[in-house]
Copies of this chain bind each other. A is one copy, B any other.
């Protein structure tokens, strides 16, 4: 047993610990005991910050979703030809995924067993749909090859981008953030432009 240390957590630092435990044990497999032990504080100290583990999940996936949806509000994602906007969004998706790696990892592993998880899945589908729309518009503007079906291409592009959470290491061994973003854009956008 470790002696609980004095609770010096902020909502953000507690969230950071919780996300790490969720990613290691799975959300379903994590109890408030696991969280208290990992944080080194008592369960009642955690309840001082949040109502329970579902609130921690909601905050964590919200952070990932805000990062992703925020991209769509940035001017280069809103102005210009759809193919250029798509290229910008794909690059920024890689950057946000790497900058918010544990939060996006958790978002991508959500299963749908609780209300919060189902809400997160619904928001993810909405984001995918927004990116698919960009691809559709780029094809309509003639900048993207027409022989790959939009939903299929979207799935494959998301598959490539989302796979980054499985192998990316922040220590730089797997490439700098910029290098990974460049590679995805070069592979996928060149392929899409045909």
| Residues of chain A in range 143-194 having any CB-CB distance to chain B below 8 Å | 145, 147-149, 152-153, 155-164, 166-167, 174-175, 179-180, 182-184, 186-192, 194
Number of interface residues of A (CB under 8 A): 33
In the docked arrangement, what's the CA distance between A183 and B188, Å?
A: 11
**What are the residues of chain B within 8 A of A149 when measuring CB–CB?**
175, 179, 183
Whether B164 lies near A152 (C-beta < 8 A) is no
Whether A191 lies near B194 (C-beta < 8 A) is no
- Knowing A149-B175, A156-B160, A174-B152, the reply to whether A191 touches B186 (Cβ < 8 A) is yes
**What are the residues of chain B within 8 A of A183 when measuring CB–CB?**
148-149, 152-153, 156
In the docked arrangement, what's the CA distance between A157 and B167, Å?
A: 13
In the docked arrangement, what's the CA distance between A187 and B149, Å?
A: 11
| Residues of chain A in range 27-48 having any CB-CB distance to chain B below 8 Å | none
In the docked arrangement, what's the CA distance between A175 and B153, Å?
A: 11
**What are the residues of chain B within 8 A of A147 when measuring CB–CB?**
182, 186
Whether A152 lies near B175 (C-beta < 8 A) is yes
**What are the residues of chain B within 8 A of A163 when measuring CB–CB?**
155-156, 158-160, 162-163
A-B contact pairs, 9 of them (CB 8 A): A147-B186, A148-B182, A148-B183, A148-B187, A153-B187, A159-B163, A160-B163, A187-B187, A191-B191
Additional A-B contacts beyond A148-B182, A159-B164 (8; CB < 8 A) = A147-B186, A148-B187, A153-B183, A155-B163, A155-B174, A159-B160, A187-B187, A187-B191
